[in-house]
Amino acid sequence: MKRREYFLCVEILDSNTKEQLCFLDKVEPHSSIGDIKSLFYKSYPKWYPARQALRLDPKGKALRDDDVLQHLPVGTSATMYFRDLGPQLGWTMVFLAEYTGPLLIYLLFYVRVPYIYSHKYTFTSSSHTVVRLACACHSFHYIKRLFETVFVHRFSQGTMPLRAIVRNCAYYWGFAAWLAYYINHPLYTPPSYGEKQVNYALIIFVLCEAGNFSIHWSLNSLKCEGTKCRRFPHPSKNPFTWLFYFVSCPNYTYEVGAWVGLSIMTQCVPVALFTLVGFIQKTTWAKGKHKTYIREFKDYPHLRMPILPFIL
């Protein structure tokens, strides 16, 4: 017996005024929220899909683009509430803006362009080897990040609100200027334990940068069907990926480790504060990703922690 087809009606209201913006008739039950956004976009071209947030409750959580209509708690008719997320920018452009700034800003302090320090130090270089090494490490870190943005990263979400980009750039660019000012200052003094401290810190930095790249490459190499991955990462033959045995987000672990190395190398308070703030933020992200893994995968390893093995 042939199965009888049925359709749904979708009403979209403004989340603030509750005014009806759109009424969609004969929507197929297997349509996704992404499909609904595309249909809504035809009626309101100024609100492209990336700007749209659709909710079943005005104050509820925004629905994901891959949520299927027939799997949502709705009947033959669904009422959704729309909110404009504002202008959006693609993640590739977001990261290029965030990482290009610190790279160039640090170099301006390193070469001591005019009006930063005293006039007699304009376009002079520091006599301390650690200053030159710190510049090389800082530059390498952001050059690597830019390379990964273009050639390695695969983004699960397409855009970020423009207002958030301004905030993120202020964070990265501001910290880069602050720590560069002190490291390249004419009165900067080398670390307390001299060359030994610098060398050990350099080893930490290099190993963590290699580990961070290995994790990013491993995440990129996951074989998935479609645009979103439904598999969680596993350790491979690469020793740097063995951290997956113990943490869900070793890329954050390695990145924090690299900045710990740079903090030890320079013995500079602003670098240490940047490392601490970054660790707090990355811990929040890691906890969120860890909870997602546990929720989506019943066989997820119980031994793994979000960011620090056996601790956090």
Residues 158 and 289 in one domain: yes
Overall number of domains in the chain: 2
In a domain, 304, yes or no: no
Angle, alpha carbons 294-295-300 (nearest 5°): 30
60 alpha carbon, distance to own chain's centre: 24
pLDDT tens-digit profile, the chain (312 residues): 445 567 888 899 988 888 999 898 888 888 889 889 998 998 888 888 888 899 998 888 888 888 888 888 887 888 999 998 888 888 888 899 999 999 999 999 999 999 999 888 888 989 899 999 999 999 999 999 999 999 998 765 567 788 888 899 999 999 999 999 999 999 999 999 999 999 999 999 999 999 999 999 999 887 554 445 567 889 999 999 999 999 999 999 999 999 999 999 999 999 999 999 999 999 999 999 999 899 888 889 999 999 999 998
In a domain, 2, yes or no: no
In a domain, 266, yes or no: yes
The answer to whether the beta carbons of residues 235 and 245 sit under 8 Å apart is: yes
In a domain, 301, yes or no: no
Give the domain range for residue 18: 8-86
Residues 107 and 71 in one domain: no
- Check which CATH number belongs to the domain holding 44 and give it: 3.10.20.90
CB atoms within 10 A of CB 54: 23
Amino acid at 65: D
Please count the CA atoms within 13 angstroms of the CA of 17 that sit on its side-chain side: 5
In a domain, 97, yes or no: yes
Residues 263 and 248 in one domain: yes
Q: How far apart are CA 204 and CA 181, in angstroms?
A: 23
Helix H or strand E encompassing 145: helix 129-151
Helix H or strand E encompassing 83: strand 77-84
Give residue-wise pLDDT tens across range 223-266: 554 445 567 889 999 999 999 999 999 999 999 999 999 999 99
Please count the CA atoms within 13 angstroms of the CA of 115 that sit on its side-chain side: 0
Q: 3-state DSSP call for residue 35?
A: helix
Q: Which of residues 65, 86, 107 is at a domain's end?
A: 86
Query: Which residues partner with 54 through β-bridges?
Result: 82
Residues 121 and 243 in one domain: yes
Residues 80 and 100 in one domain: no
Q: Report how far apart the first and last C-alpha atoms of the chain are (Å, whole number).
A: 56
Amino acid at 17: T
The answer to whether the beta carbons of residues 108 and 116 sit under 8 Å apart is: yes
The answer to whether the beta carbons of residues 66 and 24 sit under 8 Å apart is: no
Residues 242 and 279 in one domain: yes
Q: How far apart are CA 168 and CA 96, in angstroms?
A: 12
Residues 81 and 114 in one domain: no
Give residue-wise pLDDT tens across range 51-97: 889 999 888 888 888 888 888 888 788 899 999 888 888 888 889 99
Residues 15 and 122 in one domain: no
Q: How far apart are CA 175 and CA 282, in angstroms?
A: 16
Residues 191 and 82 in one domain: no
Residues 151 and 175 in one domain: yes
pTM exceeds 0.85, yes or no: no
| Cα distances (Å, whole numbers) of residue 20 to 15, 51, 171, 221 | 10, 18, 39, 45
Residues 143 and 277 in one domain: yes
Q: Which of residues 86, 111, 143 is at a domain's end?
A: 86
Going by their DSSP bridges, the two strands 20-27 and 8-14 should be labelled as antiparallel
Residues 68 and 119 in one domain: no
In a domain, 128, yes or no: yes
Query: Which residues partner with 234 through β-bridges?
Result: none
Q: Which of residues 35, 61, 86 is at a domain's end?
A: 86
In a domain, 279, yes or no: yes
In a domain, 162, yes or no: yes
